[in-house]
Structure 1
Amino acid sequence: MAAPLAYALIATDLDGTLLRCDDTVSDRSRRALAAASEGGARHLVVTGRPAPRVRPLLEELGCDGLAVCGQGAQLYDAGSGRMVWSVTLDRELAEAALGKIEAEVGQVFAAVDQDGVDGLTLIEPGYEMPHPTLPAVRVPRRDVLWEEPISKVLLRHPALADDELAEVARAAVGSLATVTMSGPGTVELQPCGVTKATGLALAAERMGLRAADTLAFGDMPNDIPMFAWAAHGVAMANAHLELKAVADELTASNEEDGIAVVLERLMG
C-alpha cells in the first residue's frame, strides 16, 4: 500500500489543472491519484463545469462519489447519478445584472448553464464557446436563456480582456451575483455568496472531512476561495497570476503532470 498522505482530501479543478489541453488525464496523474487513494485519501473534483458536462469525465476517472460542480452551485453524486444539493441564480437578477454590465461596457454575449443533472448549456447569438469540446445549444434570442432555472451565466465581450470584463462586472453587479473568472474567455455570474469554497466545504462536511484535511489544486481566480478554505493550495505553472499570488505552492503545468509531481513527493 502507498504511504499515507498528510491530507485526507485532494480537491482538484479540472480545466487547466487535472485535464490536459485535449481534455484527457495523463497516465501519470491517474497513477498518482490511485496511489493517494490506496494511501487513504479521497479525490474530489471541484469544477466550474456544470454536472452534465462533468459526468463523462467522472465515469472515465472511476469517480463514484461526490463532485462539486457549477462553481460550487451543485453537489453531484456520481454513484447515484443524482444532484445532492443545488442552488440556482435568480433569472430576473441575472437579467438585471447583464443590463448593468452592458450599461458600462456596451453589448456582451451571454450563455447559461441550466440547473439539473440534464441541464443544457444555452448560448445566445454572438456567443462563442471558449471550450469547443463542450456541447451547447444556440438559441435565437436572449430571452430564451431565462426560460428554465439556471445555475450561472457566462459572459464574453468582443473587445475587453477577461480581467477587464470581470473587474467591470464586479463593480456593476454588486450584490446581485458573484462574479468570477474560471478560464480564458470565461467570466461568470453565479448566485451571490456561492463559490468553489462553499461547495467544497459542503462536500467535505458530508464526507466527514475538514479544511485542515484538504489539499487543493487549481489554475484560475475562481480557485482563490478554495485555496483560502483548504489547508494547502497548489497553483499550476500555467495558473493566473492572481491565484499564484495566494498559493502555498507552485507546481508544474497541467501538461507536465503538476498534480502528480506534488502527490508523488508527498507520498515519498
Structure 2
Amino acid sequence: MAPPPAYALIATDLDGTLLRGDDTLSERSLAALARVADAGARHLVVTGRPAPRVRPLLDALGTTGLAVCGQGAQVYDAGTGRLLWSVTLDRELAETALGKIEAEVGEVYAAVDQDGVDGLTLIEPGYRMPHPTLPAVRVDRRDDLWRTPISKVLLRHPVLSDDELAAAARGVVGSLATVTMSGPGTVELQPCGITKATGLALAAERLGLGRESALAFGDMPNDIPMFQWAARGVAMANAHPELKAVADEVTLSNEDDGIAVVLERLFA
C-alpha cells in the first residue's frame, strides 16, 4: 500500500492563482491536480467568488465535493448543488460601514453578491466589474443592492488604489465587517470575523482532515488567513507583497503554471 501523501489537503485560490488571466485552466494544471487525486489527497477550491460564480469552474475541474466560496462565508457541495454552510452580511451594518467609508474617502462605487446558490451579483451605477467574464445585473440605485440577503459588498474608488481604499476602510469600519482585498479592483466587506480560513477549517473538518496536512496556494492579502491556518503556504510570483511576506515559498506565476510546478514536485 502506498504511503499517505505528505499533504492530504491542497487548497487553491482561483483568480490569479489556479486560473490564467483568461479564466481558463491549463492542461498542465489539470494533470497536476489529477496526480493529487491519484495520490489520495483532496483538492479544495477556496475562493472569494460566490458559489454561483464558481459552479462552471468546478464542472471544468470535475469536482463533485466541497468548495469554499465567498471569502470563506460559504461551504458549497458541488455534488448536491447545496450550500452546507453560509453566513450573510447584515445589510444594515453593510450600509453603515459603507457610509463610514464614504465619509472618509468620498464617493465609492458598490456591488453585492446575493446569498444562495442562485444569488446574483448586483452592481450600482458607476461600478465596473473587475472580471468582465463574470455576469452581473446593474441596478438603478444603491437601495436596490439591499433588497435580498447578501454575502458581501464589493467596493471601488474612482481615484484611490486598492491598497489605499482597503487601508481607509479598515480604519473606519471596525467590527461592522471584515475588510479584504482579493484582486485588482476588488476591495470587499464581508461578515465580521469571516475569512478564507473560517470556511477552509469547516470544510477540512467535514473531510476529516487537519491543518497539519494542508498546503495552500494564493496571490492576494485575502489569502493570508488561509496561509496562517495551513501547514504551508505557497504564493504565486504575481502575488501581492503582503502575501509573499508570509509565504513559505514563492512559485511561478499563474500564467506559468506555478501550482503545477509545486504539485509535480510533491506528487512525483
TM category, shorter = over 0.9
SS where residue 171 of structure 1 aligns?
A: helix
1:81-120 aligned within 5 A:
81-120=81-120
In 1: Cα distance, 2:240 partner to 2:169 partner: 19
**Structure 2 residue runs without a partner (length 5+):** none
Shift in CA distance, 109/2, structure 1 to aligned 2, threshold 3 Å: farther
Give 2:168's aligned residue: 168
Q: Tell me the alpha carbon deviations over residues 190-249 of structure 1, each in whole angstroms, 9 at most, x when there is no partner.
A: 000000000000000000000001000000000000000000000000000000000000
Q: Tell me the alpha carbon deviations over residues 88-138 of structure 1, each in whole angstroms, 9 at most, x when there is no partner.
A: 000000000000000000000000000000000000000000110000000
Displacement, 1:155?
0.1
TM-score, scaled to structure 2:
0.99
Give 1:67's aligned residue: 67
SS where residue 166 of structure 1 aligns?
A: helix
SS where residue 244 of structure 1 aligns?
A: helix
In 1: Cα distance, 2:33 partner to 2:48 partner: 21
SS where residue 17 of structure 1 aligns?
A: helix
Give 1:155's aligned residue: 155
In 1: Cα distance, 2:55 partner to 2:36 partner: 22
| Structural RMSD (CA) | 1.1
Query: In 2, are the aligned partners of 1:82 and 1:117 still within 8 Å (CA)?
Result: yes
Displacement, 1:45?
0.3
- Structure 1 segments (4+ residues) deviating >2 Å: 1-5
Q: Tell me the alpha carbon deviations over residues 42-75 of structure 1, each in whole angstroms, 9 at most, x when there is no partner.
A: 0000000000000010011100000000000011
In 2: Cα distance, 1:116 partner to 1:213 partner: 30
Shift in CA distance, 68/247, structure 1 to aligned 2, threshold 3 Å: same
Displacement, 1:36?
1.0
In 2: Cα distance, 1:165 partner to 1:4 partner: 44
1:186 aligned onto 2:200: no
In 2: Cα distance, 1:67 partner to 1:253 partner: 23
1:12-27 aligned within 5 A:
12-27=12-27
Displacement, 1:5?
2.9
1:250-261 aligned within 5 A:
250-261=250-261
Give 1:29's aligned residue: 29
**Structure 1 residue runs without a partner (length 5+):** none
In 2: Cα distance, 1:108 partner to 1:258 partner: 35
Give 2:57's aligned residue: 57
TM-score, scaled to structure 1:
0.99
Give 1:177's aligned residue: 177
Q: Tell me the alpha carbon deviations over residues 133-171 of structure 1, each in whole angstroms, 9 at most, x when there is no partner.
A: 000000000000000000000000000000000000001
SS where residue 216 of structure 1 aligns?
A: strand
In the alignment, residue 237 of structure 2 is paired with which amino acid? A
In 1: Cα distance, 2:5 partner to 2:62 partner: 20
Shift in CA distance, 267/32, structure 1 to aligned 2, threshold 3 Å: same
SS where residue 40 of structure 1 aligns?
A: coil
In 2: Cα distance, 1:198 partner to 1:218 partner: 16
In 1: Cα distance, 2:110 partner to 2:206 partner: 34
